[in-house]
Amino acid sequence: MGYKTIDEANQAVIDKMISAAPFLVDVVPAKSKIPELTDHVLLHAGPPIKYENMTDPMQGSCVGAILFEGWANNEQEARQLLEGGKITLIPCHHVNAVGPMGGITSANMPVLVVENRESGNEAHCQMNEGIGAVLRFGAYNETVVNRLHWMKDVLGPVLSKALRQMDEGLNVNVLIAKAIAMGDEFHQRNIAASLAFLKEVTPIISSLEDVEPAQRTEVLQFLADTDQFFLNIAMATGKAMMDAARQIEHGTVVTAMCRNGENFGVRIAGMGDEWFTAPVNTPQGLYFTGYSADDANTDIGDSAITETIGVGGMAMIAAPAVTRFVGTGGFEDALEISNDMTEICIGENPNFVIPTWNFKGACLGIDARKVVETGITPVINTGIAHKIAGYGQIGAGTVHPPIECFEKAITAYAEKLGFKA
């Protein structure tokens, strides 16, 4: 389908985003949905990267995934596989998936399945492991690997049974609409959405007769303890929404933002699968006691897909409680940030209405042209990882993509349209 103007194409893209109908329908082993996940294949966050260029936390995540899969007996053997080029690395984004922080996903890890019923496409994301020493921050000790096995053997199957008992799965738009009115922005703050999810699944899980009572209790306790559980659902939802919008294949709307510790990557609708990259920044924010900016890893993760759909840092005003946690001040600062974000977006999403913003919808459709014209880059809420694998999260803050990504994307699209520099 042709479009007479870039604005017309961009409107088609955001119309596709608004009409998205994401449903959480299942939790399954990653290999059952992602055929690329064969033996000795790992997915990672961000645009393409080589193992030797990964930061320590992402390398640590690779080690943990190899130990989980049983491809090596110890860290030394795992690193030999990685350093010897015996492990194939694929970006999550290339196989209908996204991954938090390191993003490392392997064949037998359970993934959430979000179906976009408007377009018929699916997206996948591993489940949130909780806080502390976790794989996504590069930890790979015995406790981390044992938890991954519990998620594979207990958490995933129990949630799968619960979701399959729902006639149509779980309507994610409804959960987001509820939780954004309760103070979530879906990147740093997911407390309300995680509780809303727990409310939906608890009656079903508690009545699953073919699950041991102890396992039902374990699952419900884990979900109750994991405030960020919904983040990964939001990530898969964002991926399902944006991959459908990418089908337009015209215009300057940003369809993906992600980072791998080396580079920040951006995609725009009119340039399809092509990545436009520039060296990644380090988040700025507040640190847990005993840590400082000297300990911080450069930015990593696919979780900026949430900002791509207009939540996360883009919707800072929705979550006043999170502003001080990420070091952005108070309510007026949050208001200013969200107002600034409207300068680079095309419209607003009527599905995600924000009461604290005079009931405006969340920002929708980051326009790479407007980023370049104004010099305003999207604000991304993020956790801050320690630069040494295994320490885990050491703070929270915000980060901005390098403007060069958007400049490269607009230059390439102009050339595609036949404009000469």
Q: What is the mean pLDDT of residues 216-242?
A: 97
How many domains does the chain fold into?
A: 2
In a domain, 305, yes or no: yes
Does the pLDDT at position 1 exceed 60? no
How high is the pLDDT of residue 327?
55
Q: Can you give the CATH number for the domain in which 208 is found?
A: 3.90.1710.10
- DSSP string of 2-27? --SSHHHHHHHHHHHHHH--EEEEEE
Q: Strand order of the sheet with strand 380-385?
A: 284-287, 393-399, 380-385
In a domain, 4, yes or no: no
Q: What is the mean pLDDT of the chain?
A: 93
Q: Do residue 35 and residue 168 come from a single domain?
A: yes
Q: How many CA atoms lie within 13 A of 189 on its CB side?
A: 23
Q: Can you give the CATH number for the domain in which 255 is found?
A: 3.90.1700.10
Q: Do residue 270 and residue 136 come from a single domain?
A: no
In a domain, 241, yes or no: no
CA distances to 250, 283, 395 from 290, rounded to whole Å, are 48, 17, 10
Question: For residue range 78-110, what is the model confidence (pLDDT) as tens digits?
Answer: 999 999 999 999 999 999 999 999 999 999 999
In a domain, 302, yes or no: yes
In a domain, 243, yes or no: no
* Confidence class for position 35, pLDDT limits 50, 70, 90: very high
Give me the domain span that covers residue 263: 249-417
Question: What H or E segment, with its residue span, contains residue 68?
Answer: helix 56-69
d(CA 140, CA 68): 9
What residue type is assigned to position 3 of the chain?
Y
Q: Do residue 65 and residue 140 come from a single domain?
A: yes
Q: Do residue 283 and residue 202 come from a single domain?
A: no
* Confidence class for position 25, pLDDT limits 50, 70, 90: very high
How high is the pLDDT of residue 394?
86
What residue type is assigned to position 226 of the chain?
T
**Residue that is last in its domain, among 180, 202, 232:** 232
Question: What is the pTM (predicted TM-score) of this model?
Answer: 0.95
CA distances to 314, 321, 331, 337, 343 from 340, rounded to whole Å, are 9, 19, 14, 5, 5
In a domain, 289, yes or no: yes
Question: For residue range 331-370, what is the model confidence (pLDDT) as tens digits?
Answer: 888 888 889 999 999 999 999 999 999 999 999 999 999 9
Question: For residue range 305-330, what is the model confidence (pLDDT) as tens digits?
Answer: 999 999 998 998 998 887 766 556 67
Q: With beta carbons less than 8 A apart as the criterion, state whether 13 and 253 touch.
A: yes
* Confidence class for position 188, pLDDT limits 50, 70, 90: confident
In a domain, 65, yes or no: yes
- 256-291 as b/e: b if 16+ CB within 10 A: bbbbbbbbbbbbbbbbeeebbbbebbebbbebeeeb
How high is the pLDDT of residue 337?
86
**Residue that is last in its domain, among 232, 264, 288:** 232
Q: Do residue 407 and residue 353 come from a single domain?
A: yes
Does the pLDDT at position 393 exceed 90? no
The number of residues in the chain equals 421
